[in-house]
Structure 1
Amino acid sequence: VQPERFLEGLTPQHCALSLVGEPIMYPKINKFIDLLHDKGISTFMVTNAQFPDAIRDLSPVTQLYVSVDASTKDSLKKIDRPLFRDFWDRFLESLDALSAKNQRTVYRLTLVKAWNTEELDNYASLVSRGNPDFIEVKGVTYCGESKASNLTMENVPWHTEVVNFVQELVDRLDGDYEIAAEHEHSNCVLVANKKFLVDGKWWTWIDYPKFHSLMKRFKESGGEEKFSSDDYMAPTPDWAVFGAEERGFDPKEERHFRKKQKDV
């Protein structure tokens, strides 16, 4: 670990409310979000789209993700193994709730080869329902064998396959979205609403000081002084734009490549 990165990590500036469990279920989640914002820490909330009322009641966050792991009832049941019998209704209602949020919203699609990569028309229909600002499409990561999953390396798409899927999806979105950025190393592609394309340049990044300023005014006004995702966008670096030679890798960072293994 580089010393400067270690010191930087002692003063967190961003908080990801995700990974284990469902953070939106925490009864004091809005209070926790307020505490983070008071300390100048941005908030990235990820929900599995099973609690639409909680989405509606959620305080503004820097960016709100909904996991869209499949586009049909049958495939969602297969991939997510939901707990609720009315999981599909909850899922659709959550997308409706997302469309009413003012801050940055994201559909997070995880592509599982041979499981959910053939449902393009259905995905397009879900996009038109929730109208997210962004669609983040990532190839599934294989983490080894597990009793909880029967995934294998055969289910992991190549980056070119992810790009091809995204291009076909964008073609079905009535011209409202375009591919904006990619990170080849993460096997991830970002689609953005064209409102973030300003004078021919993408503005998909976040102006964090502006967000905290807007959030402070929102809180002090008792929620009367509202703001939207357009109000705190920042320009996308050239190296992160889709099609750039760097393929999303920051040239200021040092990249390490594995030595080519000898043939056995």
Structure 2
Amino acid sequence: MSLNLEEQKKLEYSGYRFVGKNGHAGTKICHWTKKSLLNQGVCYKEKFYGIESHRCLQMSPAIPFCHQKCSFCWRDLSLTRTEWEGDYDDVKTIIDGAIEAQNNLLCGFFGNDNADTKKLLESKEPNNAAISLAGEPMLYPDIDELLAEFQRRNFTTFLVSNGLMHEKLKNLENEPTQLYISLDAPNNKVYKDLCNPQINDPWEKINKSLEALSTFNSRTCIRTTCVKGKNMKNHEEYGKLINKANPDYVEIKAYMCVGYSRERLTLDNMPTFHEIHDFAEKIAKEINKEIINDSEISRVVLLK
């Protein structure tokens, strides 16, 4: 089953808005969308890839569902189901509802004298979907059609997957603009300790997704969330895994000590930007790529 009303209310208190009638899809205003509307900065995705932060729709079709319970996840993992259960809403309902919910959440900015009027008007018509808010989007039964509907509406799509549904990934008929696979460990032991997978043979499944990544026509990216004292080691092993995937980009990003992750990790696990940069340099040498961009405030480095 999806989230009940009490569970939804708990997440709504944190800024989520649910759409549809089955309690599995929703949106949440990104910190950088708000910042951009006030001309106080933009998301690193705008700096790296040209995605306009004020027109980005941060959403998920599968908020309650994920195969992992990662220690660095900022979500409340007590609400997470590891397999899809119950009915699901259609893609038009989800997209229409997410856009409407985002507009409702942003309406207060129209009364803010510091807000950029041009950006505010543009924000009412988002044109990028960051399908990464919470949960594993590949678990949504109609993910292929969701990507297709966004494309019909002239959206770009950034889809972030944990790589545990390699068959479904390989069989996507509608590719996102940019496909991310999360690679948060150099080997199976570190992966199990850090990501707490809830299904059988997860490391084997991730490796199959890495192998499949090079067959995609879309832009591809490996993202590594770095947790100090946990997974910032064995860069040679990371290199072999990344080379197998042959992605267009690699993002080396710091774990941020926020939300419910603070119950599992501490500030000591959050790497500095300098530490992220050093680790990215080691990875770059292993995969014959270069650091081409970075964002100090988001503690992320981009390799190409």
TM-score (norm 1): 0.69
- The answer to which structure, 1 or 2, has the higher relative contact order (CA under 8 A, 6+ apart) is 2
- State the Cα distance separating 1:143 from its structure 2 match: 0.9
Is 1:189 the counterpart of 2:304? The answer is no
Is 1:119 the counterpart of 2:234? The answer is yes
Q: What is residue 241 of structure 1 aligned with on the other side?
A: none
Q: 1:24, 1:133 → 2: CA distance?
A: 21
1:92-141 alpha-carbon deviations (Å, 9 max, x no partner):
11111112111100000111000001120110010111111100011100
Is 1:178 the counterpart of 2:290? The answer is yes
Q: What is residue 150 of structure 1 aligned with on the other side?
A: 264
Runs of 4+ that moved beyond 6 A: none
Identity %: 33
TM-score (norm 2): 0.60
Is 1:92 the counterpart of 2:204? The answer is no
Gaps of 5+ in 2: 1-108, 110-114
Please state whether the residue corresponding to 2:240 is helix, strand or coil: helix
Q: What is residue 206 of structure 1 aligned with on the other side?
A: none
Which of the two has greater helix per residue?
2
Structure 1: which amino acid aligns with 2:134?
V
Q: Following superposition of structure 1 onto structure 2, how do residues 43-58 of structure 1 map, counting pairs within 5 Å?
A: 43-58=157-172
1:186-240 alpha-carbon deviations (Å, 9 max, x no partner):
1010001xxxxxxxxxxxxxxxxxxxxxxxxxxxxxxxxxxxxxxxxxxxxxxxx
Q: Is the 8 A contact 1:70 1:76 kept in 2?
A: yes
Counterpart selection for 2:149 from 20, 27, 35: 35
- State the Cα distance separating 1:144 from its structure 2 match: 5.0
- State the Cα distance separating 1:31 from its structure 2 match: 1.2
Q: 2:217, 2:278 → 1: CA distance?
A: 30
1:159-209 alpha-carbon deviations (Å, 9 max, x no partner):
011000011111122x3x1111111111010001xxxxxxxxxxxxxxxxx
**Backbone CA RMSD of aligned residues:** 1.4
Q: What is residue 63 of structure 1 aligned with on the other side?
A: 178
Q: 2:140, 2:283 → 1: CA distance?
A: 34
Q: Is the 8 A contact 1:144 1:152 kept in 2?
A: no
- State the Cα distance separating 1:85 from its structure 2 match: 2.2
Aligned length: 189
- State the Cα distance separating 1:27 from its structure 2 match: 1.7
Change (3 A) 1:121 1:37: same
Q: 2:163, 2:248 → 1: CA distance?
A: 16
Structure 1: which amino acid aligns with 2:129?
C
Structure 2: which amino acid aligns with 1:187?
R
Q: 1:143, 1:26 → 2: CA distance?
A: 26
Q: What is residue 122 of structure 2 aligned with on the other side?
A: 8
